[in-house]
Structure 1
């Protein structure tokens, strides 16, 4: 079974800073890592590979530095990596990103299953997986928390939706997005780290994908949505009062407060 895993290099969200004037994330303000949900997607692919004697290809769209994320994915068990990178892809929203990823998958070709994380921590939309499936005209299942059965023609999974758990079967080729509950990602082995350092990361530019999309469909030109403004909420602090001697005053204050917030009725 040939599996494609979509991964994204994201900033460390605990340390990253925001440019509120431009409405963007200052990606240079913090280190980068593989999107945590994508690590679950990668682990899912590797486990299926081990059961089916398959192949795992990781695909990412991003700047040249995203090559580091692809090498880490290879160190964790992937077989090869492709990086979609071109100045024309900058500023893409989820629609343009999905269209570009779908074009990259078409260029790679010969796949049975595509796996993506539920969402990315820097965007939090959860849209790219389903949109990519739409551009590829293949079925998809979101919020997968367990793989039940895997075959070359069908896949049976458990999907966790807010109203409950659903057992779903999907005909392949298809795409799934997985939650963090599906597994615990393995750490890269030292031997594979050494191998990943020498691995060839294949590059795909707009010229390489022109058979499947045009310059008007990628980057800012192909993005119908954009961030107008980012507002960082101020940190709220708790207000407190101390009553040391006047217990009756403290009691009256609490009663009035409870009335105000409707904890008690008058």
Structure 2
């Protein structure tokens, strides 16, 4: 079984972003592998370690710096990588899920993987649309928000998160698209030897324009702004004073 896993380069989750000129400022900002994509990579590598997968291919779309993110995936255990290069912003400002899913479709048609693993969403745009769109374009089954995954004969059984708990879905045959949620696994840290080995693994580069996909945004981002600052707190001298303010000023208790 061949597994194709999506890898997105995003602003590191620990960075406090700044808005400049109607967009998040990406200059000199620490970038990293999207946490949900990291979970997808870990699950793909685990499938290979269980002998359920023969090859794991990482795919990323974005600027030349995405090579660093792909190297992280390779250091975690992916066998090779594909980099679709573009200078367009991938945080929904310019390159949006529809075009990204279309480009993934082109690569899937070239690679013919049995399983496509993606993070459930990117932490920059929080769209969560690429996986479902890709499934629709390919005409294959999908399961979103996967919290457990087991290979079952020629298919896969997936436990997925819902608002009311979890549900188990069986995909009787592959190919299929699965998006990964937080509870699926705990991603490993790449060891120094594997980081060194990753430098020698193959990374194929393809220009986004060569895929023949219309990358024109379908939606326009009208405004981006930082949340308003929180009001300063008030120090109280006693519990009775706190209760009085909660009851009479905030009106949160009776």
TM-score by length of 2: 0.88
Match in the other structure for 1:135: 137
List structure 1 runs of 4+ shifted beyond 6 angstroms. none
CA contact (8 A) 2:120 2:180 kept: yes
CA distance in 2, matches of 1:207, 1:124: 25
Deviation readout 1:183-211 (Å, 9 max, x if unpaired): 1111223322112112221011135423x
Match in the other structure for 2:166: 165
CA distance in 2, matches of 1:235, 1:88: 31
Deviation readout 1:145-185 (Å, 9 max, x if unpaired): 0013344x311010111112101011310010111111111
Unaligned stretches of 5+ residues in structure 1? none
CA distance in 1, matches of 2:100, 2:65: 17
CA contact (8 A) 1:20 1:229 kept: no
Match in the other structure for 2:98: 95
Task: Answer with 1 or 2: which has the greater Rg.
Answer: 1
CA distance in 2, matches of 1:186, 1:256: 48
Shift in CA distance, 71/262, structure 1 to aligned 2, threshold 3 Å: closer
Deviation at 1:65, TM superposition (A): 0.8
Match in the other structure for 2:253: 263
Match in the other structure for 1:229: 223
CA distance in 1, matches of 2:98, 2:81: 23
- State the secondary structure of the residue aligned to 1:191: helix
CA distance in 2, matches of 1:102, 1:89: 20
Match in the other structure for 2:234: 240
CA contact (8 A) 1:21 1:229 kept: no
CA distance in 1, matches of 2:9, 2:246: 48
Deviation readout 1:118-154 (Å, 9 max, x if unpaired): 1111111211111122222211100100013344x31
Matched, 1:202 2:204: yes
Superposition map of 1:31-180 within 5 A? 31-51=30-50, 52-87=52-87, 91-107=94-110, 109-151=111-153, 153-170=154-171, 171-180=173-182
CA distance in 2, matches of 1:186, 1:242: 46
Unaligned stretches of 5+ residues in structure 2? none
